[in-house]
Chain A
């Protein structure tokens, strides 16, 4: 029995950009779908259409029909569909409403008028299901990205939905946590649609694969058939993608009383690409900032050339009104134009940075860093939210630039790291060894 049906849906946002162009799809109860495609292909929009948020929340021009749990989304508001469908959005920080974890998980249950006596048991059950019982009494603001992602999933599972929509759910998880997450999702009895830029895990767990490109479904097939099609037509999605690097030596660092690094050592040489990996909270970003000269260690020595750091989520930190101006902030216009060409954004010179898609913004931020032509380039999680084809392009770009500088890449994406880096440095506990 179909829990959701999408029939000939066309959708354009208010600015006229067409996001979906004749999408049809049917999702059966309990079926697990991997939704793949490049950045800006319409994956997130399709998930929002299934949740009723498109068009109700986003406006725009909508044609066709989406039926979820027997209700036409043109008539049912997203709030009315909640419970039948539940969504975990890309950025868990932007979906937390309340301050305590238990209250956050209970929020949706209260909205759905769940009998009061059932609310706390269901909260406990949902937290246990995602292995987050120990977080129950914590403040949401104190959680790491990975912990927050689990709480967001618990908040969705507490509603016991028939259809669970996951938009890049493991973008902030380390590889072990991401594996555990997908193992957990695989065991869920409800239908699941997972949109992911790192396709290996969803491809391993999905019953069916849907590939979207320019708002159209170009592949809708069972997993085995889909793997053959991807290997022939979109090899970046099934081949090992490339990437990662970083640089430092023998340092200790604490945030107040909390020790983050002790005796950490790391070296990056010119022409070398080093990947820095490790679990959430191991101090990778701290080490990257020390390597870039942005943090001074409590102990140890750091030497580095002229460094530049591309921070996590750099698309949020754009400050001008024009793409070219953004990149030219730290360099002259000639270098800015070259950097924009390198990242494939030469067409967007006059656009407002915030009119770009999330993936394009990240590339813009990368261009802004590349334009400064640093001797040491430090990138903190540069593949978060980047599709496999763009990841391959990024790896090629870093490789092409590698001889000119040392490159240090902090990442959870081990597959990409192995394919890109000359060396991988594992940061475990509070000590890293080069």
Chain B
């Protein structure tokens, strides 16, 4: 639980920070944490984050109209106005892209490195939501495996389909799996009014330090970063 709080604090700090360098440092730290996960598991998260951040970086200068140092001036487009790229817009785009990367990397660390069972056990009154998040998080590696299996199945049939044709069967497969899990959970008593928790170890010194660091990180993000 403290590790999740620390990750959330890193995201909050990245969103509150006003200096590009500060957000970049947070991204590097989160990337280092995510990098320690096995390569075959980490790539969907890292590629997803990189692509999203790059997309934002490329699009932002064209939809913003700020700055007085144009690097390129293009045609005038209805609604968007004159397309141009200024130094200020590039800086703004980098800042926004790094913020998005920080969120994506924090999710990657959450998905790859945290023990979701412990998180769930510590969730208390929010257990139902925490369970939903944990099950949704598991969807990413399962989807990756489904894509791999689907491709092997199609190759086995000597069929080559564009990636976009895989979206519909992947969605259908995910829905089917979701229903199966829900059915199994209900059959195992999930949803009863009264429940107990198996005893688990309490928080140690490291957990307390993580909580203090999380609070400090949010404070620093608001005041100095």
List A residues at the B interface (Cβ < 8 Å). 51, 53, 56-57, 77-80, 82-83, 86-87, 89, 91, 94-100, 103, 106-117, 119-120, 123, 141, 155, 159, 256, 289, 292, 294, 306, 308-311, 314, 316-319, 321, 329-330, 354, 365, 368-369, 372, 374, 378
Kindly provide the distance from the CB of A47 to the nearest chain B CB, expressed in whole angstroms.
Answer: 10
Number of B residues with CB within 8 Å of any CB on chain A = 50
Beyond A99-B115, A113-B195, A310-B156, whether A317 also contacts B188 by CB under 8 A is: no
Q: Given the complex of chains A and B, what is the CA–CA distance between A101 and B165 in angstroms?
A: 36
Further pairs besides A103-B121, A109-B198: 12, Cβ < 8 Å: A79-B192, A82-B192, A86-B188, A97-B190, A98-B120, A99-B117, A107-B190, A116-B198, A159-B188, A294-B152, A308-B156, A311-B149
Instruction: Look across to chain B and name the residue whose beta carbon is closest to the beta carbon of A122.
Output: B198
B residues in contact with A97, CB < 8 Å? 131, 135, 181, 184-185, 188, 190
Q: Kindly state whether residue B157 has any CB partner on chain A within 8 Å.
A: yes
Q: Kindly state whether residue B25 has any CB partner on chain A within 8 Å.
A: no
Are B191 and A77 in contact (CB-based, < 8 A)? yes
Q: Kindly state whether residue B69 has any CB partner on chain A within 8 Å.
A: no
Q: Given the complex of chains A and B, what is the CA–CA distance between A110 and B155 in angstroms?
A: 44
Mark interface residues in B120-134 (1 if CB within 8 Å of A CB, else 0).
110000000001001
Q: Which of B117, B155, B168 has the most CB of A within 10 A?
A: B117
Instruction: Look across to chain B and name the residue whose beta carbon is closest to the beta carbon of A115.
Output: B196
Judged by DSSP, the binding face of A is mixed
Beyond A95-B184, A311-B153, whether A79 also contacts B158 by CB under 8 A is: no
Kindly provide the distance from the CB of B38 to the nearest chain A CB, expressed in whole angstroms.
Answer: 9
Are B195 and A111 in contact (CB-based, < 8 A)? yes
Judged by DSSP, the binding face of B is helix
26 contacts between A and B (CB under 8 A): A53-B183, A56-B186, A77-B191, A79-B186, A79-B190, A82-B186, A95-B184, A97-B185, A97-B188, A98-B116, A98-B134, A99-B117, A109-B196, A109-B198, A110-B198, A111-B190, A111-B192, A113-B195, A116-B198, A120-B198, A308-B158, A311-B153, A319-B150, A319-B168, A321-B168, A372-B158
Q: Given the complex of chains A and B, what is the CA–CA distance between A330 and B159 in angstroms?
A: 5
Are A111 and B189 in contact (CB-based, < 8 A)? yes
B residues in contact with A314, CB < 8 Å? 153
Kindly provide the distance from the CB of A164 to the nearest chain B CB, expressed in whole angstroms.
Answer: 12
Are B156 and A354 in contact (CB-based, < 8 A)? no
Segment at the interface with A among B2-10, B52-60, B172-180, B212-220:
B172-180
Q: Kindly state whether residue B141 has any CB partner on chain A within 8 Å.
A: yes
B residues in contact with A96, CB < 8 Å? 181
Q: Given the complex of chains A and B, what is the CA–CA distance between A110 and B194 in angstroms?
A: 9
Kindly provide the distance from the CB of A151 to the nearest chain B CB, expressed in whole angstroms.
Answer: 12
Q: Given the complex of chains A and B, what is the CA–CA distance between A93 and B195 in angstroms?
A: 25
Are B117 and A57 in contact (CB-based, < 8 A)? no
Q: Kindly state whether residue B79 has any CB partner on chain A within 8 Å.
A: no
Are A311 and B156 in contact (CB-based, < 8 A)? yes
Q: Kindly state whether residue B71 has any CB partner on chain A within 8 Å.
A: no
Beyond A79-B191, A113-B194, A114-B196, whether A94 also contacts B184 by CB under 8 A is: yes
Beyond A317-B169, A318-B169, A369-B156, whether A110 also contacts B195 by CB under 8 A is: yes
Are A119 and B199 in contact (CB-based, < 8 A)? yes
Q: Kindly state whether residue B205 has any CB partner on chain A within 8 Å.
A: no
Q: Given the complex of chains A and B, what is the CA–CA distance between A68 and B187 in angstroms?
A: 13
Beyond A97-B135, A308-B157, A368-B157, whether A108 also contacts B189 by CB under 8 A is: yes
Are A155 and B188 in contact (CB-based, < 8 A)? yes
B residues in contact with A79, CB < 8 Å? 186-187, 189-192
Kindly provide the distance from the CB of A44 to the nearest chain B CB, expressed in whole angstroms.
Answer: 11
Beyond A79-B190, A310-B156, whether A89 also contacts B195 by CB under 8 A is: no
Are A329 and B189 in contact (CB-based, < 8 A)? no
Beyond A53-B186, A354-B172, whether A113 also contacts B196 by CB under 8 A is: yes
Are A57 and B186 in contact (CB-based, < 8 A)? yes
B residues in contact with A141, CB < 8 Å? 141
Beyond A79-B186, A100-B117, whether A294 also contacts B155 by CB under 8 A is: yes
B residues in contact with A318, CB < 8 Å? 169
> Which 10 A-B residue pairings sit nearest by Cβ, starting from the closest?
A309-B156, A111-B189, A82-B189, A95-B184, A317-B153, A94-B180, A108-B188, A119-B198, A103-B117, A330-B159
Kindly provide the distance from the CB of B83 to the nearest chain A CB, expressed in whole angstroms.
Answer: 40
Q: Given the complex of chains A and B, what is the CA–CA distance between A256 and B41 in angstroms?
A: 13
Are A289 and B169 in contact (CB-based, < 8 A)? no
A residues in contact with B156, CB < 8 Å? 292, 294, 308-311, 369, 378
Kindly provide the distance from the CB of A77 to the nearest chain B CB, expressed in whole angstroms.
Answer: 7
Instruction: Look across to chain A and name the residue whose beta carbon is closest to the beta carbon of B155.
Output: A294
Kindly provide the distance from the CB of A178 to the nearest chain B CB, expressed in whole angstroms.
Answer: 22
Are A53 and B196 in contact (CB-based, < 8 A)? no
